[in-house]
Structure 1
């Protein structure tokens, strides 16, 4: 992830925020872009990458132009393997109004990424550990959360995929009132935690 223009020797290195998701209303990328405009005014080294596809792509691109962010905020469209892009970014940010099971947060934590997310019903239980930096659902709060990362106040999230799968299976079997030993085959594992993308890294689903 290199900047479009190489920084001078005195300029701070670019810091990339990335998000992955469909360009639809519930993902509220408009709020993210608006928040990022505020972040970039205070931290010119900040950069934003929005990975996904969907009906709002053109309107989001127009917003980027209107806010004067064309050299620092980028809409990629659909990518075959967004996981590889995520692994090269500095912080994952989610601006959704609501989610079901936010798998993209699990994928970001497998990469040990710092995560900033808006608050919605399922975000607090998305990861076993309380490592997501959660903010309220408005552009100002989201901007402050992103600045918290730039100021070093957001820790990396980590997911032990083996332990996570074991807990998930145990909870499922408990719901069925079966002993854990009744499991006949191991649960399918999430992608192994790695800081670099590989040819076998799973494709991030655009939720």
Structure 2
């Protein structure tokens, strides 16, 4: 890490430094909001000059967009690993269990935040659309594998994936204002919707009841 004062400097490879900047932006955006992702803030977090961050990201909007993508990709890989399609029902049980927990709240806030800001920031909007499609495709892949294995019944895995993602977004739309009031009413809403969408019996994708 490069100190902002006199002393030793550690020169990092450009790719390593850029990744470090994006990862830091992702952390700030996830925990505090994308409005807090500025060149100065990221530089302060890293203990470097703002000019160094600006060298890699002359436009702050690009850093905000890449920070958003980094954060959401990390979460997607944890929620729905790309290579994990051997057990579609088990994969979705785990997925719905994770997204209904409080651990997913920061991700929900990030998506809500990004969708609002994307109205005014074209670069961020491109990243939001790309991530939406990627999340849908990841869900579609699991659904399609389940249909092929005879575990699920639905006419169009892509349509089912889009509807499931919309249901997730709908239940988290009030994440900043009414968490206490909505929790009991909507806690299992996405899972029960997905069970109906995939032709499953109620409770079939309930992680707490499995096994």
TM superposition score category, shorter chain reference: under 0.3
Bigger helix fraction: 2
Bigger strand fraction: 1
Greater C-alpha radius of gyration: 2
TM-score where L is the length of structure 1 = 0.24
